[in-house]
Amino acid sequence: DARVTQTPRHKVTEMGQEVTMRCQPILGHNTVFWYRQTMMQGLELLAYFRNRAPLDDSGMPKDRFSAEMPDATLATLKIQPSEPRDSAVYFCATSRTSFSEQFFGPGTRLTVL
Amino acid sequence: GNSVTQMEGPVTLSEEAFLTINCTYTATGYPSLFWYVQYPGEGLQLLLKATKADDKGSNKGFEATYRKETTSFHLEKGSVQVSDSAVYFCALTPNRDDKIIFGKGTRLHILP
């Protein structure tokens, strides 16, 4: 049963610290998305990649967020420095091709104190 | 631009009641339409989809019909269960675009 995995599932950190979230796409999926979900804003697209190349990161605060795909089995989302307003659930989702179903990971719940 | 509007929640129903969650969209071209469901503590998962006008998507007793004339994709279920309690997201992908555009979600509570 192929699934998207995300680590860590929960992260509590203090303001100013670096946070790294990781995502392992389903094997064979070439498109990877990062979303952020909060009660106030709902689900927001932060960035996405196709074949490891970034296609759109316009939803991401560039001064503190960065997203990369060092290889086909790993996508990372980093926040440096973190702020309390970054507290949210961060989801990774992957899809096989354009227009196809997105498969979501279980999310990383981030709390910045 | 492309957008999805769905009814605000929460929606609270008794078990075995009929469910409708309204969704309308604005899109250029010929979008594909989706309903995703998010159970507590989990990520979203695809519930059903329709890729062209008049298509009906169905899964787990849920149905939605792609209505181009009214730009709608309303979600329906004839008899809901407590286990259907979740947040439901209407979404679309514009033609030739990878990104899914999600609505704000509708929280559904089913009372036993």
CA distance A49 to A34: 9
Give the pLDDT band (50/70/90) at residue A99: low
Query: Which of these, A28, A31, A20, lies nearest to A76 by C-alpha position?
Result: A20
All residues at 6 or more sequence positions from A83 whose CB lies less than 8 Å from its CB, including other chains? A15, A64, A112
Mean pLDDT of chain B: 93
User: pLDDT of A18-75, one tens digit each?
Assistant: 999 999 999 999 899 999 999 888 899 999 988 888 888 888 988 999 999 999 899 9
CA distance B86 to A60: 27
Q: CB distance A104–B43 less than 8 Å?
A: yes
CA distance B31 to A96: 18
The fraction of chain B above a pLDDT of 70, given in percent, is: 97
User: pLDDT of B41-60, one tens digit each?
Assistant: 999 999 999 999 999 999 99
Cβ-nearest to A98 among B98, B104, B105? B98
Cβ-nearest to B43 among A31, A48, A91? A91
Which stretches of chain B sit within 8 Å of chain A by CB? 32, 34, 41-46, 49, 89, 93, 96-100, 102, 104-105
Cis ω on the peptide bond leading into residue B40 (within 30° of 0)?
no
**C-alpha gyration radius of chain B:** 13
Most B-contacting residue of A31, A94, A102 (CB-CB within 10 A), to test interface: A102
User: pLDDT of B72-90, one tens digit each?
Assistant: 999 999 999 999 999 999 9
Q: Is A86 helix (H, G, I), strand (E, B) or coil?
A: helix
The fraction of chain B above a pLDDT of 90, given in percent, is: 82
**Burial track A100-110 (b if 16+ CB lie within 10 A, e otherwise):** bbbbbbbbbbb
Chain A residues 51-90 within an 8 A CB cutoff of chain B:
55-56
pLDDT surpassing 90 at residue A101: no
Task: Give residue B96's pLDDT.
Answer: 63
Give the pLDDT band (50/70/90) at residue B69: very high
